[in-house]
């Protein structure tokens, strides 16, 4: 991959139980609240009640345990105590600028929706499906194009990706319980086996892995150092597979066609 510079670091920032201050309560603030709620952070929202958009007011009342609303204008540096991240969504560019400066003094990461130059990080267009998170960023160049690229990527998904990833997460943790240890030979073997399963099984088949099928896959696959087919694992554990349906249909229709041919032969012979 070429390292040309001029980009930004794409990371999945963990905010669980951190405190995020959002200043402003319009439409952009509502989008920020949605994004932050996904992370299980606590939200402090500073905005006069009369300035809240309908969507922001709804979010505040639905998530009253997660969002603390302060019905006031931003009151100064005291608002930043014990805050881990700040997002401004104001129609007041000067105030946004002041807040960014206060954050910089305290080394608190800040995003100002109206001043890209002062942002420590940008938001991006997002696709979410369970643990699957895709962010599209144009690095400040064309946010609308980011949204259009998102639609293109989304339309190429089957809808099973999120579930497949959830099941793979569960399988990986069961595998780590069975074969514990960090690094070394066992780590290498675990990674190789997991990668082979992910390569050889389709997303649809991975999504169908239930607890009995997972145990069987570990017994017949990991323990015997092989990669069983989805058919072998899902069919016998009682789960119907996308791959298994097709061959059994072929067998059934083959039997039906065979029976019809036999009957015709007998009828013709009698004549």
Ligand X SMILES: C[C@@]1(CC(=O)O)C2=NC(=C\c3[nH]c(c(CCC(=O)O)c3CC(=O)O)Cc3[nH]c(c(CC(=O)O)c3CCC(=O)O)/C=C3\N/C(=C\2)[C@@H](CCC(=O)O)[C@]3(C)CC(=O)O)/[C@H]1CCC(=O)O
Ligand Y SMILES: NC(=O)c1ccc[n+]([C@@H]2O[C@H](COP(=O)([O-])OP(=O)(O)OC[C@H]3O[C@@H](n4cnc5c(N)ncnc54)[C@H](O)[C@@H]3O)[C@@H](O)[C@H]2O)c1
Out of 84, 92, 98, 114, pick the active-site residue: 114
State the binding partner of 25 from ligand X, ligand Y, none, CB within 5 to 8 A by kind: ligand Y
Helix, strand, coil % in the chain, rounded to nearest 5: 55, 10, 35
Q: Of 124, 125, 130, whose CA–CA distance to 152 is shortest? A: 125
Q: Of 111, 154, 148, 153, whose CA–CA distance to 22 is shortest? A: 111
Stretch that binds ligand X, among 131-139, 172-180, 203-211, 216-224 (CB under 6 A): 131-139
Q: Least separation, in Å, of the C-beta of 27 and ligand Y?
A: 4
Contact call for residues 179 and 190 (beta carbons, < 8 A) = yes
What six digits make up the tokens of 172?
């990986």
State the binding partner of 90 from ligand X, ligand Y, none, CB within 5 to 8 A by kind: ligand Y
Residues 82 and 61: their CA atoms lie apart, in Å, by 24
Please report, as ranges, the residues that interact with ligand Y according to CB under 6 A: 23-29, 46-48, 51, 53, 73-74, 89-92, 95, 113-114, 143
Size of the chain in residues = 271
State the binding partner of 116 from ligand Y, ligand X, none, CB within 5 to 8 A by kind: ligand X
Told to judge if 114 belongs to the known catalytic residues of this protein, a careful annotator would answer yes
At residue 143's C-alpha, the angle toward residues 47 and 109, to 5°, is 50
Q: Least separation, in Å, of the C-beta of 123 and ligand X?
A: 4
Residues 54 and 71: their CA atoms lie apart, in Å, by 15
Q: Least separation, in Å, of the C-beta of 161 and ligand X?
A: 18
* Cβ-Cβ contacts under 8 Å for 257 (sequence gap 6 or more): none
State the binding partner of 47 from ligand X, ligand Y, none, CB within 5 to 8 A by kind: ligand Y
143 binds ligand X (CB under 6 A): yes
155 binds ligand X (CB under 6 A): no
Q: Least separation, in Å, of the C-beta of 63 and ligand X?
A: 18
- CA of residue 178 relative to chain centroid, distance: 27
Subset of residues 111 to 130 that bind ligand X, contact rule: CB under 6 A: 111, 113-114, 116, 119, 122-125
Q: Least separation, in Å, of the C-beta of 107 and ligand Y?
A: 22
Residue whose beta carbon is closest to ligand X? 143
Among 4, 141, 156, 225, binds ligand X (CB under 6 A): 141
Residues 125 and 127: their CA atoms lie apart, in Å, by 7
Residues 137 and 226: their CA atoms lie apart, in Å, by 40
The DSSP bridge pattern shows strands 125-129 and 132-136 to be antiparallel
What six digits make up the tokens of 68?
């603390």
Q: Quick one: 73 or 134, whose CB is closer to ligand X?
A: 134
Among 73, 134, 147, 179, binds ligand X (CB under 6 A): 147
Any idea which residues carry the catalytic annotation? 114
Binding residues vs ligand X (CB under 6 A): 31, 111, 113-114, 116, 119, 122-125, 137-144, 146-147, 150
């Amino acid at each position: 991959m070429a390292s040309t510079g001029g980009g930004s670091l794409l990371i999945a920032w963990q905010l669980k139980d951190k405190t995020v201050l959002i200043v402003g309560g319009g439409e952009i603030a509502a989008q920020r609240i949605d994004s932050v709620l996904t992370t299980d952070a606590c939200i402090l929202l500073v905005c006069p009640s009369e300035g809240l958009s309908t969507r922001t007011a709804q979010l505040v009342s639905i998530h009253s345990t997660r969002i603390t609303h302060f019905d006031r204008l931003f009151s100064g540096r005291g608002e930043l105590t014990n805050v881990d991240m700040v997002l401004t969504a104001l129609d007041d560019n000067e105030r946004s600028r002041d807040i960014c400066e206060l954050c910089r003094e305290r080394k608190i990461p800040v995003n100002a929706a109206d001043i890209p130059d002062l942002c420590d990080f940008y938001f991006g267009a997002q696709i979410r499906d369970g643990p699957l998170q895709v962010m599209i960023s144009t690095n400040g160049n064309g946010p609308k194009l980011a949204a259009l690229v998102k639609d293109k990527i989304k339309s190429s998904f089957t809808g099973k990706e999120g579930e497949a990833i959830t099941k793979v997460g569960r399988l990986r943790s069961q595998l780590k319980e069975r074969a514990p240890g960090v690094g070394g030979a066992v780590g290498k073997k675990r990674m190789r086996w997991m990668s082979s399963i992910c390569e050889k099984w389709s997303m649809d088949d991975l999504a169908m892995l239930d607890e009995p099928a997972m145990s069987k896959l570990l017994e017949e696959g990991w323990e015997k150092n092989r990669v069983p087919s989805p058919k072998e694992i899902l069919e016998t554990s009682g789960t119907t597979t996308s791959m298994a349906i097709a061959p059994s249909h072929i067998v059934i229709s083959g039997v039906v066609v065979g029976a019809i041919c036999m009957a015709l032969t007998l009828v013709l012979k009698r004549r």
